[in-house]
Copies of this chain bind each other. A is one copy, B any other.
Amino acid sequence: MSKPLHLDPDRFFQADGVTGNIARRLFAEIENLPIISPHGHTDPSWFANDTPFEDATSLFLWPDHYVHRMLYSQGIKLTQLGMAPKGGTAEPDRRKAWKIFAEHYYLFRGTPSRTWLDHAFSTVFGIDVRLDGETADHYYDVIKEKLATPAFKPRALFKRFNIELLATTEGATDPLVHHQKIKKEWDGRVITTFRPDGVVNPDIDGFAKNMADLAEITHEDVATWKGYLAALRNRRQYFREMGGATATDHGHPTPITADLPEVECQRMLDRALKGALTPTEAEMFRGQMLTEMALMSIEDGMTMQIHPGSFRNHNAELFAGYGPDRGADIPMRASYVDNLKPLLDKVGNRSDLTILLFTLDESNYARELAPLAGHYPCLTLGPAWWFHDSPEGMIRFRRNCTETAGFYNTAGFNDDTRAFLSIPARHNVARRMDCVYLAELVATKRLPEEEAVEVAKALAYDLPKKAYHL
């Protein structure tokens, strides 16, 4: 007997007789606002080419490292899921891979993945039975059949999801052909984000090659500090003009920043190009580049996002076989108060600059991030991120940040996902959890309800548009 799959309209709202009703009223005001997705990792080729998605396995399993990591943690090999390592083979039957996932779907009890997936299964595909070993084939068949119809092509889903704007993320040397094609052919608004890690982080695989590419496409001498900065300015402009970018994004191991004399910058660049930087020098190099990016943001008005604190590719064996983004990135402790000081000494008091700070170390919320964003004009808090982009994580974010930074030093929600079908689910959860938090303030008489409505709308729609200069 299969079990029913049912999305309760009051899910996440408090179960007591008062607070949940307030949450429900607040949510009714924002549930249907268009989705602003200003930071994420979907593939722009989906919208450029509008090729139908293929099946449940390639759509839900393969791109979702939240799913890989949980299955992998319980001893399931990626090959069993149909994912082959470099030079290796994997289970070729996608239906079989799907069945393994279905049989282990109980592992996701209590996780946001379960919430996101159930939301997509129910609202996108109209499935009304729960996923398990018995219903795996039903799921596979229904999804495959629907994906082959026009209503399930990427552009149609984008419209159906009520997405007003979707930002993808591309490396600094990307030609942005997909974004150009989208703009020419279609009225869906898909913009890029300038992510220069590949040419500002000397520790990244392929840094030398990336720098050579950067030189070639910009016709700048990236071996001189001035030329290197000019090349980056050039690409920022290209991203704005060809991809509609309004923001940059920086995924550094730490939030270290620096403000060094140009002669020292040149010396570091020389050594970076030779691959000769020590780990400490590489930190300094990245730190200097954050400050340079902030200065360029003042020039060109792009919002700057700093996403620090992930130990990338922690599992050496898995990385060797599969490369990055397979669920083996682990958060590290981070410190902002010292590390951001050089940058803040330089540009902290600018009101014409927006720097969005993210963290994977929640101990910073109340201790460092809310106090910093609650003081410096240039700083705004990005939402709960990655591992913390979950009902409990979102509530921790609001509980720990609001009292010091308020609501208006935060940036609304980011889905930050490569799982396209989870976007409506993620925004739905984020809106619900903000209403849960606001309902608590209202029910305990800390905030009048009509003010809570204003805040809820700001968090869902106005603040992301403001933070990303949209």
Q: Interface size (A, Cβ < 8 Å)?
A: 92
Interface positions, chain A 396-415, Cβ under 8 Å from B, are 399-400, 402-409
Instruction: Enumerate chain B residues within 8 angstroms of A379, measured Cβ to Cβ.
Output: 73
Interface string of A303-325 (1 = CB under 8 A from B): 00000000100111110000000
* Closest CB in chain B relative to A458 CB, distance in Å: 9
Q: Does A11 contact B (CB under 8 A)?
A: yes
Q: Does A168 contact B (CB under 8 A)?
A: no
Q: Does A202 contact B (CB under 8 A)?
A: no
Q: Does A345 contact B (CB under 8 A)?
A: yes
Inter-subunit contact A337/B348 (CB<8 Å)? no
Inter-subunit contact B70/A111 (CB<8 Å)? no
Inter-subunit contact A315/B375 (CB<8 Å)? yes
Q: Which of A174-182, A220-228, A260-268, A356-364 contacts B (4 or more CB under 8 A)?
A: A356-364
Inter-subunit contact B387/A392 (CB<8 Å)? no
Please tell me which one of the listed residues B318, B387, B406 contacts residue A404 in the complex, with CB atoms under 8 A apart.
B387
Inter-subunit contact A377/B74 (CB<8 Å)? yes
Interface string of A433-465 (1 = CB under 8 A from B): 000000001011111101100110000000000
Q: Which of A13-21, A193-201, A211-219, A273-281 contacts B (4 or more CB under 8 A)?
A: A13-21
Question: How far is A335 from B15 in the complex, measured between Cα atoms in Å?
Answer: 37
Interface string of A325-337 (1 = CB under 8 A from B): 0011111110101
Closest B residue to A19 by CB, please name it: B15
Inter-subunit contact B317/A349 (CB<8 Å)? yes
Question: How far is A111 from B393 in the complex, measured between Cα atoms in Å?
Answer: 20
Instruction: Enumerate chain B residues within 8 angstroms of A331, measured Cβ to Cβ.
Output: 337, 367-368, 371
Please tell me which one of the listed residues B18, B110, B337, B366 contacts residue A441 in the complex, with CB atoms under 8 A apart.
B110
Closest B residue to A363 by CB, please name it: B363
Interface string of A4-38 (1 = CB under 8 A from B): 00001011111111110000000000000000000
* Closest CB in chain B relative to A22 CB, distance in Å: 8
* Closest CB in chain B relative to A232 CB, distance in Å: 26
Question: How far is A408 from B74 in the complex, measured between Cα atoms in Å?
Answer: 8
Closest B residue to A352 by CB, please name it: B75
If A15-B18, A15-B444, A403-B112 touch, does A387 touch B371 (CB 8 Å cutoff)?
A: yes
Copy number in this complex? 3
Instruction: Enumerate chain B residues within 8 angstroms of A351, measured Cβ to Cβ.
Output: 75
Please report A residues at the B interface, Cβ cutoff 8 Å. Answer: 3, 8, 10-19, 69-70, 72-75, 106-112, 115, 130, 311, 314-318, 327-333, 335, 337-338, 341, 344-345, 348-349, 351, 360-363, 366-368, 370-377, 379, 387-388, 390-393, 399-400, 402-409, 441, 443-448, 450-451, 454-455
Please tell me which one of the listed residues B3, B69, B393 contacts residue A366 in the complex, with CB atoms under 8 A apart.
B393
Inter-subunit contact B373/A362 (CB<8 Å)? no
Please tell me which one of the listed residues B72, B372, B448 contacts residue A3 in the complex, with CB atoms under 8 A apart.
B448
Inter-subunit contact B335/A73 (CB<8 Å)? no
Interface centre among A115, A333, A341, by most chain B C-beta atoms within 10 angstroms, is A333
If A8-B445, A444-B14 touch, does A375 touch B109 (CB 8 Å cutoff)?
A: no
* Closest CB in chain B relative to A268 CB, distance in Å: 24
Inter-subunit contact A409/B74 (CB<8 Å)? yes
Please tell me which one of the listed residues B109, B332, B362, B408 contacts residue A106 in the complex, with CB atoms under 8 A apart.
B408
* Closest CB in chain B relative to A180 CB, distance in Å: 35
Inter-subunit contact A377/B75 (CB<8 Å)? yes
Please tell me which one of the listed residues B73, B329, B367, B447 contacts residue A361 in the complex, with CB atoms under 8 A apart.
B367
Please tell me which one of the listed residues B110, B130, B370, B374 contacts residue A406 in the complex, with CB atoms under 8 A apart.
B110
